[in-house]
Structure 1
Amino acid sequence: MDSTEVVVRSVRTVGPDTVALILESPPEFDARPGQFLQVAGEVDGEEIARHYTLSSPGADETFEMTVGIDPDGDLSPWLGEREQGDTLEVAGPFGRSYYEDEPRVVVLAGGPGVGPAVGIAERAMADGGEAVVVYRDDEPAHEDRLRGLEAAGATVLVTDEPLADSDDALDVLSEATGQVFVYGFADFLDDANDALAATGHDPDDAKVENFG
């Protein structure tokens, strides 16, 4: 999809320094949970574009992006100030590490990786599948959706420890089967790979998105 203007339906706080933006889906928008968009805004007279991953299970009429607000960031503070009725320029979707109707998903998320994690897990559960979410963060976001996933029968573990050092995380991953997804920054990806290798998974088989 070429760059197009979309309308902000709502913005809500979903965790410390974290907001979720609900946006109107443009015509013929075909995005899967786990894909990402290029989002552009004009900040202090300069157009700045960054990538954000979808955090909604679908995108038929609206879709969601979860934004961690870095006070020193170029675009995230501006996005955090958006209100209902504002518009954004988006292009995409992009990416190859997304949900493709796998019957069992195992999603490892670090920090803002929780966005695609909840979107993929919710979609898999809605499709009649199974989901495991292992999420590392010392200030978790989307706790309401994580509780909802647990109530629906998903396995959810939230920890502030490195996964490779967490007995709970290693126990969950030892029992988990299905397509593995990993979302987060580079240091988390290294930790996730160590945990996967330690629990009998091949990290090379995982669908991975490096946030930088």
Structure 2
Amino acid sequence: MEITGTPVTVESVRDVGPSTIALELETPAAFDALPGQFVLLRAAPEDEVIERHYTLSSPSTEGTFELTVGVDPDGELSPWLAELDGGETVHVDGPFGQITYERDRDVVAVAGGPGVGPAVSIAEAAHDAGHEAVVVYQDDDPAHEQRLETLEDEGATVVLADENDDGTIADAIETHLKDGQCYAFGFEAFVTAVSDAIEDAGGDPDDALIENFG
């Protein structure tokens, strides 16, 4: 069976939260992705090619790069990825996406659910480049808690909210809207609420860099 895309080795798979894994992949030659971009990953569980888009969750792609994957027990691909041991091959195309972070400014990264991956990667990249970072994250079962704690210990602002706590998200956006370039990652209802909160806070949603996961 032929699978299109660039073959890359799975370096490791680790749990980073409830039903969430971090998939670390070998960086192929000439792969130059920035935080905020995504790839198309293909694999063939059960001899059927399945493809999914995943956004990078590592601040750089030097040597390896990371994808954060929410594991749906009824999914066609994510449960298979979660059971990998490392050493297997998957295929990727990309990077894709116009939402990028160039390590050139302070950032406010707002995330709902699986959006935490790119949000954390952008905050880490900003911190590594000597800029300030704010992470605002809504989820009942947070992922990447260790990385968020490290960011906070190193001076970043981290605001966590439960899934239905839209008030905390709106308050955090109002408080930190002018603290840096605003990014938002999440499903449609979440990023729509973020856009509304930006407008309510006197900002322009068109100035934010927003990735709608559908």
Report if aligned partners of 1:22, 1:65 keep a CA contact under 8 Å in 2.
yes
CA RMSD of aligned residues (A): 1.4
**What residue is the counterpart of 1:104 in the other structure?**
106
Q: 2:24 aligns with which of 19, 22, 25?
A: 22
Q: 1:112 to 1:161 in 2, by over 3 A?
A: closer
What amino acid is aligned across from residue 77 of structure 1 in structure 2? Answer: P
User: Which contiguous aligned blocks of 4+ residues in structure 1 show a shift greater than 6 angstroms?
Assistant: none
What amino acid is aligned across from residue 61 of structure 1 in structure 2? Answer: G
Residue deviations 1:141-198 (CA, integer Å, cap 9, x gap): 00000001101111101101456422xx334322322211110111111121122222
**What residue is the counterpart of 1:90 in the other structure?**
92
Equivalent residue runs for 1:59-98 within 5 Å: 59-98=61-100
Q: 1:132 aligns with which of 131, 134, 150?
A: 134
Q: 1:117 to 1:105 in 2, by over 3 A?
A: same
Q: Is 1:34 aligned with 2:40? A: no
In 2, the alpha carbon distance for the partners of 1:163 and 1:210 equals 20
**What residue is the counterpart of 1:173 in the other structure?**
173
What amino acid is aligned across from residue 174 of structure 2 in structure 1? Answer: S
Residue deviations 1:58-114 (CA, integer Å, cap 9, x gap): 001110000000112222112112221111101100001121223111111000000
What amino acid is aligned across from residue 90 of structure 2 in structure 1? Answer: L
Structure 1 alignment gaps of length 5 or more: none
In 1, the alpha carbon distance for the partners of 2:54 and 2:91 equals 12
**What residue is the counterpart of 2:46 in the other structure?**
44
Report if aligned partners of 2:5, 2:42 keep a CA contact under 8 Å in 1.
no
What amino acid is aligned across from residue 172 of structure 1 in structure 2? Answer: A
Report the 3-state secondary structure (helix = DSSP H, G, I; strand = E; otherwise coil) of the residue aligned with 2:49. Answer: strand
Structure 2 alignment gaps of length 5 or more: none
In 1, the alpha carbon distance for the partners of 2:150 and 2:200 equals 29
Q: CA deviation at 1:136?
A: 0.4
Report the 3-state secondary structure (helix = DSSP H, G, I; strand = E; otherwise coil) of the residue aligned with 2:65. Answer: strand
Report the 3-state secondary structure (helix = DSSP H, G, I; strand = E; otherwise coil) of the residue aligned with 2:173. Answer: helix
Residue deviations 1:30-75 (CA, integer Å, cap 9, x gap): 0101100000011222101110000000001110000000112222
- Between the aligned residues of both structures, percent identity stands at 55
**What residue is the counterpart of 2:187 in the other structure?**
185
In 2, the alpha carbon distance for the partners of 1:151 and 1:113 equals 21
In 2, the alpha carbon distance for the partners of 1:64 and 1:191 equals 28
What amino acid is aligned across from residue 191 of structure 1 in structure 2? Answer: A
Q: TM-score, normalised by structure 1?
A: 0.94
Q: Is 1:207 aligned with 2:209? A: yes
In 1, the alpha carbon distance for the partners of 2:81 and 2:188 equals 23
Give aligned pairs, total. Answer: 209
In 1, the alpha carbon distance for the partners of 2:113 and 2:25 equals 22
Query: Mean alpha-carbon deviation: is it higher for 94-103 or for 83-92?
Result: 94-103
Q: CA deviation at 1:3?
A: 1.7
**What residue is the counterpart of 1:115 in the other structure?**
117
In 1, the alpha carbon distance for the partners of 2:68 and 2:76 equals 16
